[in-house]
Amino acid sequence: DATINPDFGQVEVDPAVVNLSDRETFFSEKRPFFIEGQSVFSFGRGGSNNNWGFNWGNPNFFHSRRIGRAPQGHTPSSDYSHAPDGTRILGAAKLTGKIGEGWNFGAIQAVTNHAMADYSIDGEIMDIEVEPLAYYGIARGQREFGEGKRAIGFLGTTTARQFDNDDLRSQINGSAFTGGVDGWTFLDQDRTWVVTGWVGGTHIKGTQERILSVQQNPQHYFQRPDFDFISVDSTATSLSGFAGRAMLNKQRGKFSLNSAVGLISPSFDANDLGFQFQTNVINAHVVGGYRWTEPKGIYRRISVNSALFNSWDFDGNPTWRGWFTNSSTTFKNYYSLFVGGAVNPSSISNRRSRGGPLMKNLPGVEVFGGIESDSRKRLVVELFGFTYQTASGDDMNVSTELEWKPAPNISLEIEPEYGRSSSKAQWIGAFDDATDLQTFGRRYVFAELSQTTVSSNIRLNWTFSPSLSLQLFAQPLIASGEYTNFKYLERPKSYDFVTFGEGESTFDSETLIADPDGAGPAPQIELSNPDFNFKSLRGTAVVRWEFRPGSRLFLVWTQSRDHFEDNGRLRFGRSFDRLVDAKADNIFVVKFTYWLNR
């Protein structure tokens, strides 16, 4: 299978999100070229019919959205700048299949062009490279034995870049390599018990400036002042890490059991061609459950599960722990109900101060539940609710999904969602202050945040004939956040703060200038207004015509509009009006694929 420029023109647009965390937002792959046959490249999850994880961000060695990604480089300080949304794929080839008995294999090779950004200084328009020419290679193989009773496999990826702009070398890795081995084996003839696992490593290369930046980014935070296991090496030109996980699972029977232990070293980095959001974690859990599979009374089947879980960092700090339980019931009328909850004792956060000292996680309680109507009917309704309560804030979300099938060839889905959260300590920034010895010469500033989000996903799929179809997608989103009571961390490993304006400290609510000790020697801190009111509307319409088997013509219209205000209060009517009045960006695309068949 080969393709030229497999962009996102013929697929649903990504939804808008408001991300205030230090973690990258994950978007799933939607391009047909990469979706078809992607199960071949699945790594580390084979053999088991349960893959539980609690605070375990399983690293993805291959995330195809990295191919054609948005440019990573920066433009110089300028009056105006514009960079493309993605990088053009010059060409890609994919080969998947089977060799002999039990061997599955897959390989992808892709080359992306360099990307240029335009910028203007004093009326002079210039351009600069913001993403270099790049090669991506993926190879996957897996051998099964005994009709799937055992298996062993490997996966390797390569990323290599060629820079025209030397300044980019300090912003993007020069090359990256990952490799791993996975497999499973059943422990008995009935295939009731199975052990699965994987181990892998990563290696990235770059300039000293680039590797220093990687060590300090949110995936690593080597600069933490109380990080004992590892520290920043400003002379390094490469970084290598390791990770792995082992799992025991009971596949069959009314009793279920799943247990796993895994670790990701602080220097593990698979983000050039993979996806990960955390490192420096040792994680373990055990889950036990029971299933009633024989219909009785009003129910058709019931399952209950309970789990204990714990996570530590490589310094031995407990970063997350708790007890979890859930239950799922399917009734005789095919309605289903699920409920659950978790209790989290206090623990230690090595991320909240974003490269600063350790902080305390306060105890919390989570409750969730939902109900779904008969999925065989023309109208299917699903309701879901979630809340997490803790002394450091709370989170609440309510959503519903309506799916209506007025005819076998027509499907309409509407998914409205409402979320509200509050935090007693939302990150603002870190500021140098040699007088604050308790927090290692820096002030770590936070604020209380009240956030509200209203959104909906709307989809229409209409198949006129086996060769002609229409797909519509729209997502309106309104989100607001109001910050109050600015404060700074008082001491490490605590959740204690000093609020500006109390005691000797001062705070000017008009200028947002804070002073930790008033007339004392500590420097003033100048803050900017973090309040936000963001409105977005994204949509796409795709007409697909398969004019011959395997060959398709796509007509695509994509529209996006958004509006931003530094006002943290949500006024739904006013926000909706401003969204409708916002300038729209419209993109029209005509694209075709042609299958060359010998």
Query: What digits encode the pLDDT tens for the residues 518-571?
Result: 989 999 999 999 999 999 999 999 999 998 887 889 899 999 999 999 988 888
| Whole-number Å distance between alpha carbons of 105 and 99 | 8
Residue 159 within any structural domain of the chain: no
Residues of the domain holding 459 = 409-598
Q: Considering only CA atoms, which of 311, 357, 321 is closest in space to residue 342?
A: 321
Residue 431 within any structural domain of the chain: yes
Predicted confidence at residue 415, as pLDDT, reads 97
Give 7's pLDDT tier (boundaries 50, 70, 90).
Answer: low
Residue 580 within any structural domain of the chain: yes
Tokens of 35: 């979706």
Average confidence (pLDDT) over 323-341: 97
| Whole-number Å distance between alpha carbons of 506 and 522 | 12
Give 168's pLDDT tier (boundaries 50, 70, 90).
Answer: very high
Average confidence (pLDDT) over 272-278: 95
Residue 455 within any structural domain of the chain: yes
Give 513's pLDDT tier (boundaries 50, 70, 90).
Answer: very high
Query: What digits encode the pLDDT tens for the residues 341-377?
Result: 999 999 999 999 999 999 999 999 999 999 999 999 9
Residue 308 within any structural domain of the chain: no
DSSP 149: T
Residue 463 within any structural domain of the chain: yes
The DSSP line for 284-329 is: EEEEEEEEE-S-BTTEEEEEEEEEEEEEE-TT--EEEEEEEEEEEE
CB atoms within 10 A of CB 104: 17
Q: What angle do CA 523, 524, 528 make, to 5 degrees?
A: 140
pTM (predicted TM-score): 0.92
Instruction: Work out the mean pLDDT of the chain and round it to a whole number.
Output: 94
Give 30's pLDDT tier (boundaries 50, 70, 90).
Answer: confident
| Whole-number Å distance between alpha carbons of 469 and 462 | 6
Tell whether the model's pLDDT for residue 445 goes beyond 90: yes
Average confidence (pLDDT) over 254-272: 97
Domain count across the chain: 1
| Whole-number Å distance between alpha carbons of 315 and 229 | 6
Tell whether the model's pLDDT for residue 10 goes beyond 60: no
Predicted confidence at residue 545, as pLDDT, reads 93
Whether the Cβ atoms of residue 431 and residue 356 lie closer than 8 Å to each other: no
Residue 378 within any structural domain of the chain: no
Predicted confidence at residue 5, as pLDDT, reads 62
Q: Considering only CA atoms, which of 242, 231, 236 is closest in space to residue 206?
A: 236
Could you tell me which residues are beta bridge partners of residue 93?
Answer: 2, 109
Tell whether the model's pLDDT for residue 1 goes beyond 70: no
Tell whether the model's pLDDT for residue 403 goes beyond 60: yes
Distances in Å between the Cα of 590 and the Cα atoms of 2, 12, 242, 554 are 19, 15, 44, 6
Could you tell me which residues are beta bridge partners of residue 155?
Answer: 140, 180
Predicted confidence at residue 6, as pLDDT, reads 62
| Whole-number Å distance between alpha carbons of 277 and 263 | 14
Give 592's pLDDT tier (boundaries 50, 70, 90).
Answer: confident
Average confidence (pLDDT) over 258-269: 98
- Label the pairing between strands 525-526 and 532-548: unpaired
Torsion sign across C-alpha atoms 529, 25, 54, 202: negative
Length of the chain in residues, anyone? 598
10-19, 216-225, 378-387: the lowest-pLDDT one: 10-19
Predicted confidence at residue 597, as pLDDT, reads 66
Question: Residue holding tokens 């076998």?
Answer: 408
Residue 584 within any structural domain of the chain: yes
Tell whether the model's pLDDT for residue 327 goes beyond 90: yes
Tell whether the model's pLDDT for residue 101 goes beyond 90: no
